[in-house]
């Protein structure tokens, strides 16, 4: 008589082989070698180089308000190519066309992509490489929220929010990192690599008030740990992984008469006495993607006017 399958599975645990992480040596020939940038001879050049953004970026949810503002900032700091992935980039075609006119030297393209579709994301990354030449940075802005008491929340809503916000971010990060690793193989010694930035939230750090939104909070908190795991595992490839946690931002998602009282409470409970503006998020984004962020890995930058102190 065969033993129960669960007993067989338990016995197999004693003979399993668990893989181990490989960390970089930090040697001059590694992907994490220290920079050799000399001090600039003049202040203007030094300031420009410090926050310079090189290469190409893929930005998911890039057609939204926060994503578009960060796209513009990255292009201002030198980004050469941009692929915006969004479920409906056509909604922001006017703004995207304005960026093309503002940055005629840059290649700016869009694709319709559902980040939960693994095959579609993989195709999009390959298309980004074909159009831009490489993927050097990934920024994940995609996110959905649902405000409902946990007792009443449909499980389908819980799954959808985590599938988009957390699993979708992992799918995009994995597909982009695989491309970055391949690019690095073509480079002898230091070189290759890139950066991955997830847009998390203050909701990852504390419970929001007064709105109940357990699924969203959990999905963003998971991004903080995902960021840390990838920062540890992928550093040896020269890939830096970080998060930015915005506070309440004054965008269309937080507008409407039905949110008047909520907006008042959010402002009153913040040391700044107000919500943030989309442009106030771009400094952290540029820092993490630029040369100045070269030794920032596994970090989370909170941009919330100090709301997190309470």
Q: Across-strand partners of 239?
A: 194
Concerning whether 216 is annotated as a catalytic residue, the answer is yes
Asked if residues 141 and 168 have their Cβ atoms less than 8 Å apart, the reply is: no
Q: Please name the residues in contact with 19: beta carbons below 8 A apart, sequence gap of 6 or more.
A: none
CA distance 180 to 222: 23
Output b/e per residue, 110-141; b: 16+ Cβ within 10 A: bbebbbbeeebbbebbebbbeebebbbbbbbb
Considering 216, 237, 248, 295, which one is annotated as catalytic?
A: 216
What is the side-by-side order of every strand in the sheet holding 300-303? 107-112, 81-86, 56-60, 137-140, 194-199, 239-246, 300-303
CA distance 65 to 157: 24
- Residue 64 DSSP class: S
Asked if residues 93 and 65 have their Cβ atoms less than 8 Å apart, the reply is: no
By annotation, the residues acting in catalysis are: 216
């Amino acid at each position: 008589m065969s033993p129960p399958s669960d007993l067989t599975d338990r016995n197999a645990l004693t003979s399993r082989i668990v893989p181990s992480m490989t960390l970089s040596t930090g040697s001059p020939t590694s992907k994490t070698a220290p920079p050799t940038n000399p001090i600039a001879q003049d202040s203007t050049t030094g300031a420009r180089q410090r926050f310079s953004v090189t290469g190409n970026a893929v930005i998911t949810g890039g057609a939204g308000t926060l994503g578009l503002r960060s796209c513009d900032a990255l292009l201002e700091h030198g980004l050469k190519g941009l692929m915006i992935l969004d479920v409906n980039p056509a909604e922001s075609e006017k703004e995207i066309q304005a960026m093309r006119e503002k940055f005629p030297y840059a290649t700016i393209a869009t694709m319709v992509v559902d980040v939960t579709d693994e095959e579609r994301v993989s195709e999009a990354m390959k298309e980004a490489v074909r159009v831009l030449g490489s993927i050097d940075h990934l920024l994940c802005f995609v996110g959905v929220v649902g405000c409902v008491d946990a007792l009443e929340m449909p499980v389908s809503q819980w799954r959808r929010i985590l599938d988009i916000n957390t699993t979708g971010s992992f799918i995009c990060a994995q597909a982009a990192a695989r491309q970055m690793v391949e690019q690095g193989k073509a480079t002898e010694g230091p070189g290759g690599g890139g950066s991955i930035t997830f847009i998390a939230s203050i909701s990852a750090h504390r419970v929001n008030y007064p709105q109940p939104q357990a699924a969203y909070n959990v999905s963003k908190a998971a991004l903080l740990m995902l960021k840390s795991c990838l920062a540890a595992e992928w550093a040896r490839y020269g890939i830096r992984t970080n998060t930015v946690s915005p506070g309440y931002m004054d965008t269309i998602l937080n507008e409407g008469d039905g949110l008047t009282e909520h907006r008042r409470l959010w402002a009153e409970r913040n040391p700044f006495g107000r919500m943030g503006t989309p442009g106030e998020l771009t400094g952290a984004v540029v820092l993490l993607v630029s040369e100045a962020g070269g030794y920032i890995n596994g970090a989370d930058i909170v941009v919330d006017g100090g709301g997190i102190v309470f």
